[in-house]
Amino acid sequence: MESVLGRYRNLTILVGVLFLQVLGLAVQVKRGADAENTRLIRIWAVDTITPFERVLIWAQNGSSNLWHNYFFLRGVRAENRQLKQQIEQMRLEQVRLSEDAGQAHRLQQLLSFKEQVIAKTVPAQVIGSSGSDLSRSIYIDKGSNEGIASDMAVITAGGIVGKVLRVYPSTSLVLMINDQTSGVGAMLEKSRLQGVLKGTPEGAVILERVMSDEQVVPGDTVLSSGGDQIFPKGLPVGTVTKVSPGREMFLNIQVKPAADLSRLEEVLVVTQKKERDAVVDSGVRVRAADILAQRLPSVPNKPPADIAVSGSATSENAKVAVPGPVTSPAAKPLSPTDSSGKPKVVQPAATGPIPSAPGGGTVAAPSAANAVKPGGAHSVPVVGQATPGHSQNGDAPKKAPPTAVSGDPVSTVSPSAGSNPAGSPVTPATARPKPPVSQPNPQPPATDDPH
């Protein structure tokens, strides 16, 4: 026996080493990939490699910033002008979108929906990858020390990236959506068809579990459905690029991710999601006459000259420069006026704070270009760092004009900005002159019915 083992010594050792590895692999597979006994050696390996990556990234960013911030400034002025124009256009667009969001929010209130919004994000830098073309995962430079935990969503301004798979003290491993072991609840924006977004071994992304008799066309936008309890509903996922019949009566839908997964540099980790109940009617009955009074145009209680026409009226500490139905936590509550300019009695359910900018956001008077939206409604852009669309206490804003908010683009996904319970944007006194008496009154919405 000994002679046999001695003769095949090398082969015996090979079999022994392979057996040990197979045994270890089997234990991991049975216990799950996150077994604690594998974590320590992973931490050692990651701690060995990532410091060098951090140093390289730091040096790379330093040299890049030096070049871009000091030497390469050609065309900045023209670009600045172009961006300003773009901002103006986007403000108008945002007013329109906030109206839509407000309407959606009101409908959610009616149905007692719970909505999930992004409450807090942590920016992180991508410092490395798994280095294999069979595994799509990246390392970011934030870990448990910064509040990162497993199964947190990782996104960019473009769309979703993946989820946190493993957390180390100062780094985290993120499994991207194009990894073959990844799965994301997704839906098509137009048809609202839901499916499961999965990665393929080649690194492509496909939407599974959509029946073949459904109508899906290339170009359709794919959003997160929220069904996976990781990604909040409504985040952009990608665009359908190809649709073909698949196996077992399902379509084979190829999706191009909205975020450029191959060139990620900075990402946002969603560290806190807020799930809040849509605020249903508080029990205080609102008279139809009051709602109609809010909708009807009224005479301004201040001369129009006082109203800021340009952006020069920006003030500090959430100061409101436009009289009429614009409120903020630091400002007076909404007081619709009647035709004589006297304040009307406002029911509690019809009032509430405008979404404000925590930490000293300012409410600026709109410029002439964006003060009046095409439909005639008035908008008040809120400038400053903000948690847009959320009031401090998490309640939906009850009465506010459509509000344009600038700030963290990811945080603007909340659909609650600028809603008002009357079912239409509140038209401030200065937006348009009072029409003749014969103006038709809109019908009160179903929620206005006290019964």
Query: How do strand 403-405 and strand 380-383 relate by DSSP bridges?
Result: parallel
Q: Return d(Cα 326, Cα 24) in angstroms, integer.
A: 65
Closest CA to 97 of 234, 269, 5, 296: 234
Give the one residue of 101, 124, 127, 269 binding another protein; rule: CB under 8 A.
Answer: 127
**Residues 197-236, mask of contacts with another protein (x by CB under 8 A):** ----xx----------------------------------
> Whole-number minimum distance, CB 107 to another protein, in Å?
40
Whole-angstrom Cα Rg for the chain: 28
Q: Return d(Cα 91, Cα 68) in angstroms, integer.
A: 28
130 binds another protein (CB under 8 A): yes
Site for another protein in 261-280 (CB under 8 A): 262-264
> Whole-number minimum distance, CB 25 to another protein, in Å?
4
Helix H or strand E segment including 318: none
**Encoded tokens for 371:** 């003060």
> Whole-number minimum distance, CB 136 to another protein, in Å?
8
Closer by beta carbon to another protein, 44 or else 72 = 44
Closer by beta carbon to another protein, 173 or else 230 = 173
67 binds another protein (CB under 8 A): no
Q: How many residues bind another protein (CB under 8 A)?
A: 49
Closest CA to 94 of 360, 405, 426: 405
Helix H segments across 185-299?
288-295
Stretch that binds another protein, among 87-95, 107-115, 232-240, 258-266 (CB under 8 A): 258-266
Closer by beta carbon to another protein, 77 or else 263 = 263
Give the one residue of 135, 212, 221, 254 binding another protein; rule: CB under 8 A.
Answer: 135
What count of other Cβ atoms lies within 10 Å of the Cβ of residue 119? 18
DSSP-derived secondary structure for 76-142 = HHHHHHHHHHHHHHHHHHHHHHHHHHHHHHHHHHHTT-EEEEEEEEEEEEEEEE---TT--EEEES-
Closest CA to 380 of 324, 434, 300: 324
Give the one residue of 102, 128, 401, 418 binding another protein; rule: CB under 8 A.
Answer: 128
65 binds another protein (CB under 8 A): no
Query: How do strand 205-208 and strand 172-176 relate by DSSP bridges?
Result: unpaired
Stretch that binds another protein, among 174-182, 236-244, 276-284, 323-331 (CB under 8 A): 174-182
133 binds another protein (CB under 8 A): yes
**Residues 1-40, mask of contacts with another protein (x by CB under 8 A):** ---------x--xx--xx--xx-xxx-xx---x----x--
- DSSP count for the chain of H helices, then E strands: 6, 15
Interface with another protein (CB under 8 A):
10, 13-14, 17-18, 21-22, 24-26, 28-29, 33, 38, 41-42, 44-46, 48-49, 52-53, 56, 126-135, 137-139, 165-166, 173, 175, 179-181, 201-202, 262-264
